[in-house]
Amino acid sequence: MRPSVREHWCRVEMYRHAVELFRRAAPSLDVLEFSGTVWGDLLPWASYTPVYGVDVCYAPVVAEMYDLVILDQVLEHVRAPAEAIANARRLLRPGGQLFVSTPFLIRYHPDPIDLWRWTAPGLAQMLKWQGLRDVEAWSWGNAQCVRANLHEWAIVPPGGPGENDERFPVTVWAVGTR
């Protein structure tokens, strides 16, 4: 059985931090995820809507507005990331939040295309340029995780993910408010 993406070494700390960020508010949040169904059972959301096969860069895909829109490991695959963020922002209620995560020091993975990488400050700036406020960004990684993910999606080794080493950011994530 293949491990869930939530078990991938490169993502485990990001998901742990995301749970901390949204745990208290989760029961009152209406959530839209453009990343598949990874977040569906992460927390007890008020409502949860996964979107499949939709280009986040263009016209709104739903009539509703959301408290949280998630682009988890999506932005590196879209041709127009600024437009994707702007469109996701339009789907947020006033005060709603956009959560974006992307890889940084991770192997090329064209599924179907792989176009972009951001540092934490770069991802934060991208969200600010699209009108989001109170933007915060983080990163996690270490040399061992970089090496382990060169040929396959590694799961967390015995002993845990290891210490964060700012010189080797494997995953970058940011949150901004509409």
We report the CATH number of the domain holding residue 101 as 3.40.50.150
Q: How confident is the model at residue 60 (pLDDT cuts 50, 70, 90)?
A: low
| E-only strand ranges, 10-132 | 30-33, 47-50, 66-72, 92-103
Structural domain of 70: 5-177
The pTM is what?
A: 0.94
Element (H, E) at 138: strand 133-140
Which residue do the tokens 């280009």 mark?
A: 55
Predicted pLDDT of residue 51: 86
Computed over every residue of the chain, the mean pLDDT equals 92
pLDDT for residue 3: 65
What the block records as the tokens of 47 is 């409502």
Domain count of the fold of the chain: 1
Model pLDDT for residues 84-139, shown as the tens digit of each residue: 999 999 999 999 999 999 999 998 888 789 999 999 999 999 999 999 999 999 99
The Cα 83–Cα 80 span in angstroms is 5
Q: What is the mean pLDDT of residues 59-83?
A: 87
Q: How many CA atoms lie within 13 A of 165 on its CB side?
A: 10
